[in-house]
Amino acid sequence: MDRIIAEYDRISQDRRGAAEGVETQHFENAESAAELGLTIAETFADNDLSAFSGVERPEYERLLASIAAGKIGTLIIWHANRLHRNTDEVNHFTRLARTHGVRLYSTTKGGYYNLDKASGRKELRDDTSEAEYESEHRGERVTIARKRQARNGDYGGGVRPYGWGVDTGRVRSVCVNPKAPAMERVYQDRPVLDMTRHNAEEAQEIRRWKSELFSGVTLAHLLRDIAERGVLTVSEKEGKEHKRKGKPVRHRGWNSQTIRQILTHPRTSGHAVYRGTIVRRNAFPAIIEDDERQALTDMFADPARKTSPGNTPKWLGSLIYRCGTCDDGTTMTVRKDGQGEFCYRCRTKGHCSWRAHRVDLYVESVLTGLLSRGDIADLLPSAGNPVAVAALREEIVALDAQKRNAAQRWTLRKIDDAQLDTITETADQRIVEIRAEIAVATEESPLSPFAVSEDAERTYRDMTLGRKRELLRYMLTVTLLPVGRGGRASTALIRIERRKPTRAA
C-alpha cells in the first residue's frame, strides 16, 4: 500500500473563529511540500486547541491512529511546537513514528528530523522543550498578574460577583462579537465598575439571606421568597448569555448552590481570593462578618440541617402541627380530600383531617396575639456584648497573623517542624473556640423583628412563610385532636401550648 504525505496544523487560541492560523500554516506547509516535490494528500488540523493544557486534540489522535495503521509515510509540520508542547508526548510520538517509518519535516526548520539518530530525536525534544518552557513561563506570568489583580480588587472580567461593583461614571468600549470579521464587529460602551465597593442593593439582599438562615429559615423557603420578590441574578440584570459547550442555554435563575457559594465565599467577608485561596485578608469592606460566613459554612455542612422529607412546605403548619390521634409527636401534612379541599392529615396514617385554611388562620390569630403583648422583648435572647464580640474577632485576626509569621520563620529555618505544628494547632484550636463563642453571642431570634415593631400583625404579615414557620416552631406547640365521625371541627379541639424559649446567658 502506498503511503501518503500528510500535514498537521494547530493553533491554541482562535478568538475570531476564522481558523486563519491553521490556514496560514497549511499554505506554508504546501509550499514546502512543493519545493520537495511532494503533494499533501491529507490535512489534520486542531483549531483553537492548546497542546499544553492536556485537552484532547481529536485530529492529533486521528493522526496517531493513521500512523499506527501504516497510512502515512511523511508528516509535514510548521514547527515542533505545533505538534507538541509537552515532552511526555514527544517520546510516544517518536517511538510510533520510528516503528512505522514516518519521516518528519518542519517548515520553519527547513529540513527533516532524523528520528533514527539520537541527535535528531534530541533536536525534536529540545524544540518541544523550549515550547513547553515558554508555555509554563507564560502561565506563571499570568498567574502572578491574576494574583496581583485579585489582591487589588481589580475586575478580571467575566460575570460580576453578586454584591460588588459601583459605577465609576467612566466607560470602556467592548466588542460584543469578537469572532466576526474586522469590518463587521460591533462595539458597545460598558460602565467601568469599582469592584472594591458594595453594590448597595445586592449587599443588602445578601445580608437578608444571612438573617433569614440564622433565624432557622430553610434554603428552600429562602429561594421561594427570592422568586416571589423577583430578585434578579447578575446575568439576568445585565443580559449575559450563558453557554454550555459553545451553545446558548437558558438561564435558570437562583438555586441553592449559588446562594451557598455567595454566602460562604471569602470575598463576601472582604477577603481577596485567587482560585479559591485567600491572597489578602480584609482587603475590602465586608458584606457579612467573617465569623458569620464561617457559621453559615458550618450550617450548610451540617447533615442534620435537612428537616423536610420532600417538597418545600407551602403551608404554615405542614410538618409542624402534631397529630392528636397518634399523640406521639407524629406531624401533619397537607393534601386534598374527596371534595378537593386542602386538609391537614396525619403524615403516616392519613387520619385526623382538618381544613388547612381554617387551622392556619386560627393559629396565626393566637400567634399574633402573643406577639402583640408589651413584654415580647423579654422573650428575646440576650444580645451578645458588641465590645466582646469585636474583641473576639480581633483575636482571630491576630491568630491568623501568628500562623503566617510562624510559617515565615519556618521557611527561614528559625523554628523546626514540631514547633510550627504546635503553633498552628494551638491557633486553630483557639479559632474554633472563638467562632463557637461568637456564634452564641450573635445568635438571631425569630422574635427580633417584633422587639421594635409597633404593629405586630403587620410585621407578621410582611414576613416570609419560612420566617413564620420558624416563629411557630419557636413559640408554640400545636396539636390537632381527632374530630370523630359526624363531629364538628371546633377550635376547642386545637390544642395550643406555649413554648418557653431559654434565654441565652
Neighbours of 118 (CB within 10 A): 9
275-279 mean pLDDT: 78
Cβ(342)–Cβ(336) below 8 Å: yes
pLDDT of the residue at 35: 92
Cβ(384)–Cβ(441) below 8 Å: yes
pLDDT greater than 70 at residue 119: yes
Looking at 69-117, list the stretches that DSSP marks H as alpha helix, in order from N- to C-terminal side.
80-83, 87-99
DSSP, res 448: G
Residues 458-496: tens digit of each pLDDT: 888 888 888 888 888 888 999 999 876 655 678 888 999
DSSP-derived 3-state class of residue 232: coil
Looking at 215-344, list the stretches that DSSP marks H as alpha helix, in order from N- to C-terminal side.
219-229, 234-238, 256-264, 290-301
* Angle, CA of 470, 475 and 478, to the nearest 5°: 90
Q: Residue 204: pLDDT band by 50, 70, 90 thresholds? A: very high
Least confident of 70-74, 328-332, 433-437: 433-437
Least confident of 99-108, 143-152, 360-369: 143-152
HSE of 292, CA atoms in CB hemisphere, 13 A: 25
Q: pTM (2 decimals)?
A: 0.54
pLDDT greater than 70 at residue 333: yes
**46: enclosing H helix or E strand:** strand 42-47
pLDDT of the residue at 389: 67
Cβ(281)–Cβ(400) below 8 Å: yes
Cell numbers at residue 97, please? 513514528
